């Protein structure tokens, strides 16, 4: 695979990405830009990044960059991704890829037209345990899948200055935490045919707690997310012959237990990735996959294709709309 040269937009979650790329891949981050130039220069010095650009435009047009990682607040993703694509750069966009399904379609369509790889940074798809789950289901070990249950919720004290509580920054539970269980269910069940939603709106007008039932042609997903409730952050996949249980946090490197029989009493295997649990959580594996796809000439991830990215955003669109409409009645 090519030793890609990355430009990073944003220095928040970007820190984990830079470290993972440096420690676990042949790729390198060579440039960075962010709103606060003083903090960005300190960030670059700490992480040994050679170039600090004064603007997104300068970074995406840097001939020394092959790919761009976008790690800014959600509402900025679309314009920055489109700028990178227009400059001919491959793009990895932090999740959620955008603020809506319509914006996700615009980004992915632009990538296809430009002939560059566009990926949403759902790094959990590239963990070894994700491959085990896919294979167990594909081989029929747990029979026909009927239900997926997953949740991700935590308590965030209200602070109007926090991104989580700021509507203008894409705050709320669904876009920040809910995308994990929704994306997990999507990877197993496929696109929804029906979506039922119950939720609460918190201070400043963001979705604070949301529960979803998603029906698909394959089965149903029971999903929850919150920024006011501490949820267990586990996931299960239930089938006609057994099930899969993923320990907390289900979206990071953790133990996967596969069972068969009544009441799941016949354990047939436990898969664990404890080493990854203490480093980057799989971000380095995602960067490696990205470089492989570039080398193969792919325009989308085979493990997380564009249509699925859009479908997940559609679920979030429907859920947010339902919560806000119920609150306004």
pLDDT digits 0-9 by tens, 236-270: 999 999 999 999 999 988 888 888 876 555 566 66
| Cβ pair 7, 60 in contact under 8 A | yes
Query: How would you write the pLDDT of the chain (329 residues) with one tens digit per residue?
Result: 779 999 999 998 899 999 999 998 999 999 999 999 999 999 999 999 999 999 999 999 999 999 999 999 999 999 999 999 999 999 999 999 999 999 999 999 999 999 999 999 999 999 988 999 999 999 999 999 999 999 999 999 999 999 999 999 999 999 999 999 999 999 999 999 999 999 999 999 999 999 999 999 999 999 999 999 999 999 999 999 999 999 999 998 888 888 887 655 556 666 655 544 445 568 999 999 999 999 999 999 999 999 999 999 999 999 999 999 998 87
Instruction: Give the Cα separation of 47 and 94 in Å (integer).
Output: 20
**Could you tell me the domains of the chain?**
5-121 (3.40.50.720), 126-281+311-328 (3.30.360.10)
C-alpha distances out from residue 107 to 57, 59, 269, Å: 17, 18, 40
Supply the pTM of this predicted model. 0.94
Active-site residue (options: 39, 78, 95, 275):
95
DSSP string, 232-279: ---EEEEESSEEEEEPSSTTSS--EEEEESGGG-EEEEEE--TTGGGT
95 is catalytic: yes
Q: Indicate the SS3 state at residue 53.
A: coil
């Amino acid at each position: 695979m090519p030793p890609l040269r990355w430009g990073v937009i944003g220095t928040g979650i970007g820190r984990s990405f830079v470290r993972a790329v440096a420690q676990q891949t042949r790729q390198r981050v060579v440039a960075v830009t962010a709103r606060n130039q003083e903090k960005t220069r300190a960030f670059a010095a700490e992480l040994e990044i050679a170039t600090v650009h004064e603007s997104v435009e300068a970074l995406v047009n840097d001939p020394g960059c092959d790919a761009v990682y976008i790690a800014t607040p959600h509402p900025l993703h679309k314009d920055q991704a489109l700028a990178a694509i227009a400059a001919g750069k491959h793009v990895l966009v932090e999740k959620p890829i955008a603020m809506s399904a319509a914006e996700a379609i615009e980004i992915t369509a632009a990538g296809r037209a430009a002939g560059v790889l566009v990926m949403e940074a759902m790094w959990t798809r590239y963990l070894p345990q994700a491959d085990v789950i896919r294979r167990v289901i594909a081989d029929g070990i747990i029979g026909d899948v009927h239900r997926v249950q997953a949740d991700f919720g935590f308590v965030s004290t209200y602070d109007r200055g926090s991104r989580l509580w700021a509507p203008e920054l894409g705050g709320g539970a669904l876009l920040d935490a809910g995308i994990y269980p929704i994306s997990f269910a999507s990877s197993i069940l496929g696109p929804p045919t029906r979506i039922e939603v119950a939720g609460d709106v918190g201070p400043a007008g963001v979705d604070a707690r949301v529960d979803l039932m998603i029906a698909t042609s394959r089965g149903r997903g029971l999903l929850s997310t919150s920024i006011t409730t501490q949820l267990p952050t586990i996931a299960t996949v239930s089938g006609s012959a057994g099930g899969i249980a993923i320990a907390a946090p289900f979206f990071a490197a953790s133990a996967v237990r596969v069972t068969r029989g009544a009441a799941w009493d016949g354990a047939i295997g436990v898969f664990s990735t404890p080493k990854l649990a203490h480093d980057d959580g799989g971000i380095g594996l995602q960067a490696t996959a990205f470089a492989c796809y570039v080398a193969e000439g792919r325009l989308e991830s085979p493990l997380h294709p564009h249509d699925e990215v859009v479908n997940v955003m559609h679920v979030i669109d429907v859920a947010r709309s339902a919560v806000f409409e119920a609150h306004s009645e």
